[in-house]
Structure 1
C-alpha cells in the first residue's frame, strides 16, 4: 500500500490552479510548477536557472498545455500578467500587435482582447483616454446589448466606479438621469441606485443636500420601516443616525438620552446599554466621551457600583483601573486619586492584588501588659532571658497562624506568671489571637515537657462570586446513545427547549464579600471579595426592575451558545409535503414528523426533523438535526452554517461544520470541521467526503470495493481560493504601479489645462480605489490562510477496517487502499511531518 504523490485523476479533482503562496503546504509553489512543467516535457533545469517565479512558471505551463509558442514570452523580465496576455492572444488567435504599438498597457490590452473575443466593436473604448477599469465597464455594457446604452457612461470623465453604477442602474431599468452626472461621487450614485431598486426614490433636493452616508441611512430606515427624517433635519451625522435607526427598529427609547453633540460612538454606548437593560442615565451625558461611557457601561453590566469613578474629570483609562479594582474587591482609595496617572493606578492596583496581607498596626489592651508587671527582680531577669532565647520557648506553624509556648523547668527560683507570659508574647510581637484562658489553664497545670497553644490567628474567608441560577436547562445533550447493536440513537438529543412569554429563565445571585483574617503577629490576611459577573447577553429576554430576574420577552426556542442566550421564534409543523409552499422562516423550524420528497426549507435558525427526510433541500443558518435518517435517491441537499447530524445519510449532498451520523452511503459531504460516525458499525462508503479537520469512523469503504474518496485537510477549493486571491493581489498591484507611473508622469507636466487636471484627479482617485481593494484582498487572504493552517493536522481515525477501493487525499498526495486493512485498535492516516508522504499508523 504505497503513497503516491501525483496530480489527481479527473474523477477525483479537476485541478488546474496555481499554488503560489502555499510554501507551508507540501512542496513550494515554485517546485510544484517546475515539476508540472517537467511532466509536460519542458526543461525544468533551464527554467530554474532563468529564475522564473511560480506565477511566471504557471503561464509557461499553461502555454505548453495549450500548445502555443511559449518562446514568444519565455522571458523572466516579463511579468506574469504580460505572459498571460500573450498566451491568451495566441490561444484565442487574436493579433494585438497594432494595439500594443499604440502604447496600451497590459491591463488595457486585456480589455481590448476580451472585447474582440466576444465580438464587440472595441473601437468604442480602445482609446488611450480610458483606464483599463473604465474599458471593462464599457465592454460589459456593450456585451449586454441594446438594453444598456453606453452613451450614458462612456464619457472618460466618469471614473470606473461611476460607470459601474450607471451601468447597473440601466440594467435594472432605473431612471439613471437622477445620478448620471460626473459631479456625483460613485458612493452617492450607489446609494441612489440601491434605494431606487427597493422602491425609494430620492428627490433632487435630497440628492443635492445629503451625502452618500445620509442617503444610505434613509434607505436602510425605509427598509426597516422607521422614520429618521427628524434626525436628518436636526443635522445628526450618518453614523449617529445609524445608531438611532437601530433603536427605532428595536423600539428602544433613546431620544431622551441623546443630542447632536454626542459622537456616534457615544450614542452606540447608550444604545448597547439600553439593549442590555442597564441604567444608561448614569452616563448618558455629553460631558463624557464614548470611551468613558464604555467603562461606565461595562461597570454597570458587571453589576458594580460605578459611583467612585463617575466623574468626567477621570480619563477613560483611569476609570478602567478603578473599575477593575472595584471588580476585584480592592480598597480603591489607595489609588483612585486623580493625581495618579492610569499607569500609576495600575501599578498600585497590581501591587495590592499581589500582596496577601498587610500589618494591621492596631494596639489592643494586651499591649498594656508591659505596664502591669509586678516589678519582681527575678521576673524581669527571666523575661530578658526568655526574650534572648525566644526560639527555645516559641514555635509556630509555617503560616504563622498558631503559636505554641513551652516553659522549661527553672532552678533559679523564677516563677512563670500570666503577666510574664503576656509581656513575653507582646514583646515578641504576638499581638493577635492570644488566649488568656489557655495561658491561665497552662500555668495551673504546667507540664514543662509539653507545648501549649497560646495564640491562634483567624483564616481569611473568601467571598462568593455572583452566579446565575438558570430556571431553564441550558445544557444541550448532543451526544447520542450508542445501542447494543453499535448504532446511535438520536432520540435522546433534545432538539429544542421552548419558553413562553413571561417565563423566568434565570435569577442572578449577587456576590458576597469576604471576611479578612489575621495571623498571630496581627498581620491582616486579605480575603478575596466575591466578584459580580456580567449581565446575560443575547436576544429575546429582558431584566426586570429588581435587576436580578430575567424573563422571556416572547415565546420561542431558547438556546445558549458561548454564554449568549437567544430566544428565537419557532415554527412547528407536523410534517412537510411537496404540496406545501416553500418554507422560509426567520427563526427555528421544527417538523415533528417527516419531510417528504420535493420539499424546500430555509430557516435562519435550527432545522429539526423528528422523523425522516427524503429528497428535499434544507438551508439552515445554524444546525440541522434529523432524528430519523435522510434518504435522497433523486436529489437532496443540506446546507448549514452549524453542525449537521442524522441517524444516517444516503445519497445526500451536505455542507456544514461538524457532520455526524451512523453511516454515510454515496454522499457528497463537505465539512469545515470534523466528520464522524457513531459506534462500532459506523461507516462511510461510496461518494466523497471532504473535511478540514478529519474523519472518525469505524470503517471506510465496503467489501464490494465501492470507490470512496476521502479528502482531508485543505482541499483544492480552498487552495484555489487562496491562489486566486494571490493572483488578484498581484494583478491589482501591477495595475496600481501602472497608475502610479501615470501619476508621476503627470506630476512632471507643468501644464494646468482643465483636461489635464481632470485626468490627474481621475488617476489619483483610481490609485486610492486600487489601494483599498488590495487592503481588502489582503484581509481576505489572511482569513483563508488561517483556515489552511487549521487543516494542517487533519487525519483519519479508523477503528475497525479500511476497505480496498478507498482513496485518501491529503495535500494533493493520494493513498489508495489496495487491500482490506483491519485494525484491533485504531488506524491513523495523516500527512507525514515533512508533508511529503502519507503516513499510516
Structure 2
C-alpha cells in the first residue's frame, strides 16, 4: 500500500523553525503550540505553497495528517472534516480518490478502515461495481479478491461470500481466470492452503484431492504433490499423521532406490528419517542407529562413524550425547581402531566386486579411506568412461 511509503526521517527542528521564520511565521507561537520538527515542516510547506494554513495549523494533528490536509488543499479540497473522525491513512485514501476523480462518497465513512477504502478506491478507478463487495462483513483481503475478480471479468458470485476466507477466494478466482471451476472444493470446506495444493496439482494434471478428502493438510499435500511431480508413488508408505518432512524423506528414499519401509514409521520424526535414509544410501548397517529413542543428532554422529568404518555399536545408546559419540569416533580413528587401515566395510567390498565384474580398474578407488558412496560414484564414472552401463 503506497500510503506506507511516505514515512519521513526525523527532521532537524532548528532548520525547520528557521524555514518557518523565513515564511513570516512567528517562532514563539509555533513553540507554544509544541510542534515537532516534522509538523513544522508541514506548516512551512503549507505556507510556502500559499495554501490555507488554518486548515493545517493544529498541534493535535500528526505530521502525517498535516501532510494529507496540505496535499488535499493543493488539489482544491478541504479534507479537515475527515480529520475529526478518521486517521491519516483513511484521509490518505480519500485524497487519492479525489486525485483520480472517483466518487469518494462511496467509501468516505469512518467505519471503513484505510485498507477497505483502498480496495474500494481501486475498484472505482478500475470502473467495476464496488457495491458487490462494499460490505463490512468482508475484510480487506476478501475485498481485494473480489475486486481482482471483477477486474478480470470472472463470475465473482461463485466466491463472493463472507464464509470463504481470502485464501479460498483467491484459489477460486485464479481457477475461474483459467477456466477451472474450484467452487466444488470451496463448498467442501477445504482450507485455503489445501485448495492451493489441489489447484496447483490440477494445473499439472496431478490429482491430490483423494488425499485432501482423507484429511491431509496443505503442507502434507505439498509433499505428496512434489512426489507426484517427480513420478514417485509415496502412497503405500505414508500415513495421515506423517508430517510434510516425513513424507519428503520417504519420497527422497524412493528416488534413490532405498527401501523407505525401514524408516517410514510413526516412531521416527522427519529428521530421524533423514539420517536413516542417508545411511541406507551410503549402504551402511542402519540397524545400529535406527532406533526411535535416539535423537537425530545422535544418529548423525553414529552414521558418520559408520561411514568412517568405525564400530559405533557401543555408543548407540541414548545416554551418549552427540558430542560424546563424535569424540569416541575421533579417538577410535586416531588409535587406529577404526577398521579403516587395511579393512574394507561390507559396502566398500561390494563396490570393489562390482567394479571387478564390470572389468574396470578398481585400484583407482579400492582404498579404505574412500567411503562406500565415494567408491560407488567413482565406479560409475569409470564405467561411464569405458562405455559400460550398470
Query: Under a length normalisation based on structure 2, what TM-score does the superposition of the two structures give?
Result: 0.73
Once the two structures are superposed, residues 753-793 of structure 1 have per-residue CA deviations (whole angstroms, 9 ceiling, x without a partner) of xxxxxxxxxxxxxxxxxxxxxxxxxxxxxxxxxxxxxxxxx
Query: CA contact under 8 A between 2:172 and 2:183: conserved in structure 1?
Result: no
Q: After TM superposition, give the deviation of residue 207 of structure 1 in Å.
A: 2.2
Helix, strand or coil for the counterpart of 2:92? helix
Aligned pair in 2 of structure 1 residues 307, 548: CA closer, same or farther (>3 Å)?
Answer: farther
Corresponding residue of 1:171: 151
Matching residue within 132, 136, 139 for 2:114:
132
Q: Quick one: distance in 1 between partners of 2:365 and 2:66? A: 70
Deviations 1:291-314 (A, max 9, x none): 211222333455644331122332
Deviations 1:22-77 (A, max 9, x none): xxxxxxx757x98899899969xx9xx98957x76876787688565779758887
Q: Offset of 1:321 from its aligned partner?
A: 2.8
Shift of 1:318: 2.4
Q: What residue in structure 2 maps to residue 284 of structure 1? A: 264
- Distance change >3 Å, CA 78–CA 274, structure 1 → 2: farther
Query: Does the 8 A contact of 1:112 with 1:122 survive in 2?
Result: yes
Bigger shift: residues 307-316 or 150-159: 307-316
User: In 2, Cα distance between the equivalents of 1:198 and 1:153?
Assistant: 22
Task: Please report the RMSD computed on the Cα atoms of aligned residues, expressed in angstroms.
Answer: 4.3
- Once the two structures are superposed, residues 381-408 of structure 1 have per-residue CA deviations (whole angstroms, 9 ceiling, x without a partner) of xxxxxxxxxxxxxxxxxxxxxxxxxxxx
Does the alignment pair 1:94 with 2:77? yes
Q: Shift in Å at residue 223 of structure 1?
A: 1.1
For 1:13-412, list aligned pairs within 5 A. 20=9, 52=36, 79-101=62-84, 103-145=85-127, 148-204=128-184, 206-301=186-281, 304-338=284-318, 340-341=319-320, 344-350=321-327, 353=330, 357=334
SS at match of 2:78: coil
Q: Deviations over 1:786-831 (max 9, x none)?
A: xxxxxxxxxxxxxxxxxxxxxxxxxxxxxxxxxxxxxxxxxxxxxx
Check the 8 A contact 1:463/1:512 in 2, yes or no: no
Q: What is the deviation of 1:337?
A: 2.1
2:171·2:196 contact (CA, 8 Å) conserved in 1?
yes
- Spell out, residue by residue over 1:706-747, the C-alpha distance to the aligned partner (whole angstroms, 9 max, x if none): xxxxxxxxxxxxxxxxxxxxxxxxxxxxxxxxxxxxxxxxxx
Q: CA deviation at 1:188?
A: 0.9
Deviation at 1:190, TM superposition (A): 1.0
* SS of aligned partner of 1:209: coil
How far 1:108 sits from its partner (Å)? 1.5
Distance change (3 Å), C-alpha of 1:357 and 1:113 = closer
User: Radius of gyration: which is bigger?
Assistant: 1
Higher relative contact order (CA 8 A, sep 6+): 1
Separation (CA, whole Å) in 1 of partners of 2:286 and 2:45? 67
Instruction: Verify the 8 A CA contact 1:225 1:249 in the aligned structure 2.
Output: no
Give, in whole Å, the separation in 1 of the partners of 2:180 and 2:193: 15
String of CA shifts for 1:679-729, please: whole Å, max 9, x gaps.
xxxxxxxxxxxxxxxxxxxxxxxxxxxxxxxxxxxxxxxxxxxxxxxxxxx
Residue correspondence of structure 1 range 508-547 to structure 2 within 5 A: 512-513=367-368, 529-531=369-371
Q: Deviations over 1:176-219 (max 9, x none)?
A: 11111112111111111111112110244652332222221121
Query: 2:380 corresponds to which residue?
Result: 549
Partners of 1:228 and 1:207 lie apart in 2 by 17
Q: Could you report, residue by residue, the CA deviation over 1:421-442 in whole angstroms, capped at 9, with x for unpaired residues?
A: xxxxxxxxxxxxxxxxxxxxxx
Offset, 1:548:
5.4
Please tell me whether the aligned partners of residues 257 and 284 of structure 1 are also in contact (alpha carbons under 8 angstroms): yes
String of CA shifts for 1:135-191, please: whole Å, max 9, x gaps.
11112212222xx11121111111111111111111111111111111211111111
Per-residue CA deviations over 1:226-282 (Å, capped at 9, x if unaligned) read 122332333332222222222222212323322323222211112233345544343
Q: 1:463 touches 1:511 (CA, 8 Å); kept in 2?
A: no
- Partner Cα distance (2:328, 2:46) in 1: 69
Q: Which has the higher helix share?
A: 2
The answer (yes or no) to whether the contact 1:303–1:534 under 8 Å persists in 2 is no
In 2, distance between residues paired with 1:316 and 1:214? 30
TM-score, normalised with respect to structure 1: 0.36
2:351 corresponds to:
none
What is aligned with 2:359?
none
**Alpha carbons of structure 1 residues 58 and 533: separation in structure 2 relative to 1, 3 Å:** farther
| Distance (Å, rounded) in 2 between the aligned partners of 1:63 and 1:131 | 27
Change (3 A) 1:67 1:283: farther
In structure 2, what is the Cα distance between the partners aligned to 1:134 and 1:85?
A: 18
Higher relative strand content? 1
